[in-house]
Structure 1
Amino acid sequence: MNTRGLIDQLLQSGGNLMQNPAANQAKSAATDKVSQLSGLLGGQGKGLMAGGALGMLLGNKKLRKTGGKVAVYGGLAALGVVAYKAYSNYQKNQTTAPQGTPETVDRLPAPQAEQHSHAILRAIIGAAKADGHIDDKERELIDGEIQKLSSDAELTRWFDEELRKPLDPADIARAATTPEMAAEMYLASLLVVDEQNFMEKAYLTELARQLKLDPSLVQELETQVLEMR
């Protein structure tokens, strides 16, 4: 599955929408009715389709701040750079932390990067579901837009299954097989959630626990996100 390509389209389209308030407003209106969605997205290219899928997946209130510089400056690779910085800072301040060069998604060969991408996309979907806003109708709309973005039947089927799963932080955390991957998953979740929402904040706390992240690393990741806004 080409998970990385899909994440890049979602994140980078989010950056385009943040820089274009008129487009963002159009996407907000598009999520209300299927007919409006079809009219706005038809024939306008994958960037707008990704924006529509992102808007529905994350909810309009999140679209304005999701991704920050990650979205604007390079999608998944930029997320890896931010995770690398956070993890490196954490290592410097913790004598018991794993040492060596952090192997974040931006520094890995394609097969390993795809594994990281898969885990990060699971984290994004999970965080998007944390406030319970995705109903059956929205799932169908999101599925339709993802199918337009990717011709990979396996990927679109997997995406649909993830959307329909009950939200379980423990299940999501099992995708992390390295400390760096866990950090990337938490970072991606931070970019998605509304920290003012009690349900989403509680979800983040539990996700960090399930990912077995050191509180100092959690703090460093949160600092990096604050600096991006």
Structure 2
Amino acid sequence: MANFTDLLGSLMQAGMSDSRSTRITNAFGGSGSGGGLNDLLGSLGQMLGGGKAQTSGGGNLGSGGNLGGVIGSVLESLGSNKAVVGGLGALVGAVLGGGGSATRGAIGGGSLAMLASLAFAALKNAGQQPPPPAALMEDRTPQQNQRIEEDAMTIVKAMINAAKADGQIDDKEVVKITGKLNENGLTDEEREFFTAEINQPLDLQGLIASARHRPELAAQIYAASLLAIEVDTDAERQYLQALASGLQLPPQSVAYIESTLGVA
């Protein structure tokens, strides 16, 4: 059986778009008015009982920060959850330095933590009260772990779906991505899943249905889609508009996600 958290980690390492590293760096660095993950993770840490929500800059949710502040904030606010800290560090290493010796699972876990945090902040920015993300919790129930793995599968599907937005994915690009995935230790089951999804026609409605009544997953789907494409064609922009509309994301949440990732 495919491990979708691992597969997500492999996709983040491989990079489905050239802008992926820049956008993740923007999220951690706080470029743009949407803020970054610095104060965001501190705020989440307080909600989860991790400690006082502070950052190196002393700001509040959405005020921005930098990579050092993010890691420091996580250590302070979620100090007992070493898996989250390690996963975020692995993600940063993957996008900025090739990942080093970090495991796919750690990078995937960090990716889920980042996306869940960004979704939480985006919904809060629209006046909603989303539940604390399970991806940032240390003590999770088996049911929560199963839901997280299911969400990872949906996020992987969202990234692959977005890559088809301006037409069928170029064969050379498929070979390039698949080659990088194989270097990252893809299992046979994961390779079969990825290949099957790549060859499926674009399924916007199916993706939208997978997040019905779950705005926090909807926001993660939108954010992950932005990490998979350049957003430099009319077809991609129209796809994202249709995706946001179908997911019923508040305009404020869409703007927050785009600003945090540095998408013009």
Sort the TM-score into its range (normalised by shorter chain): 0.5 to 0.7
Query: What SS does structure 1 have at the residue aligned with 2:217?
Result: helix
Q: Unpaired segments of 5 or more residues in structure 2?
A: 29-90, 94-109
What is the percent sequence identity of the aligned residues?
A: 32
**1:2 corresponds to:** 3
Greater Cα offset, 192-201 or 73-82: 73-82
Letter in 2 for 1:221: I
**2:158 corresponds to:** 123
Matches within 5 A, 1:1-229: 1-11=2-12, 13=13, 50=14, 54=15, 57-58=16-17, 60=18, 62-63=19-20, 65-68=22-25, 69=27, 71-72=91-92, 74-90=110-126, 93=127, 97=128, 99-103=129-133, 105-107=135-137, 109-132=144-167, 134-177=169-212, 178-226=214-262
Matched-pair contact (CA < 8 Å) for 2:122–2:254: no
Matched-pair contact (CA < 8 Å) for 1:194–1:201: no
Q: What whole-Å deviation, never above 9, does each CA across 1:98-137 have from its counterpart, x for those lacking one?
A: x352436434642111111111111111122223362234
Aligned partners of 2:259, 2:11: CA distance in 1, in Å? Answer: 23
Query: What SS does structure 1 have at the residue aligned with 2:155?
Result: helix
Give, in angstroms, the shift of residue 195 of structure 1. 3.4
**1:16 corresponds to:** none
The normalised TM-score by structure 1 is: 0.65
Aligned partners of 2:207, 2:11: CA distance in 1, in Å? Answer: 20
Aligned partners of 2:252, 2:180: CA distance in 1, in Å? Answer: 38
Give, in angstroms, the shift of residue 213 of structure 1. 1.9
Q: What whole-Å deviation, never above 9, does each CA across 1:38-74 have from its counterpart, x for those lacking one?
A: xxxxxxxxxxxx3xxx2xx43x4x3553433465274
Aligned partners of 2:92, 2:7: CA distance in 1, in Å? Answer: 16
Matched-pair contact (CA < 8 Å) for 2:124–2:130: no
Give, in angstroms, the shift of residue 158 of structure 1. 1.2
Give, in angstroms, the shift of residue 189 of structure 1. 1.2
Matched-pair contact (CA < 8 Å) for 1:176–1:182: yes
Letter in 2 for 1:223: S
Q: Unpaired segments of 5 or more residues in structure 1?
A: 14-49
Say if 1:4 and 1:170 are closer, same or farther in 2 by CA, change over 3 A. same
**2:83 corresponds to:** none
The normalised TM-score by structure 2 is: 0.57
Give, in angstroms, the shift of residue 181 of structure 1. 0.7
Letter in 1 for 2:120: Y
Greater Cα offset, 212-221 or 77-86: 212-221
Matched-pair contact (CA < 8 Å) for 1:84–1:104: no
Give, in angstroms, the shift of residue 222 of structure 1. 2.2
- RMSD, aligned CA: 2.8
Letter in 2 for 1:131: D
Query: What SS does structure 2 have at the residue aligned with 1:172?
Result: helix
